[in-house]
Structure 1
Amino acid sequence: MSTPVYLTLEEVVRRYRNQVSEGTLRNWRSHRIGPSFIKIGKAVLYPLEEGAD
């Protein structure tokens, strides 16, 4: 079983080639839509497997 890989907020924005802004991702999180994420302290991380689509 492999260790899951997570992306930071900035990495997700780059992965989507700036088509989705940090603000949009924050808004989606508050409305519980968009890519899944986890919070560890203040850090928000997105699983790579789901963020790749």
Structure 2
Amino acid sequence: MGKNKSKKKQVTHYQKMISNMKKLDNYLKAEMLVAKKKKSNNNDKQKEK
């Protein structure tokens, strides 16, 4: 019984880690999209000059 409990704890720990990594990945993707938009906006402004 005791061993099974510790295994369950490890599984939930890994699941949390994985979900956190996914959140971080999504966050980084969003940041990159924002950065790309900002860059394209800057390029447009430069073209206007």
Which TM-score bucket, shorter chain as reference?
under 0.3
> TM-score, normalising length from structure 1?
0.23
> TM-score, normalising length from structure 2?
0.25
Q: Which has the higher contact order (CA 8 A, sep 6+)?
A: 1
Considering fraction of residues, name the structure with more helix. 2
Considering fraction of residues, name the structure with more strand. 1
Larger Rg: 2
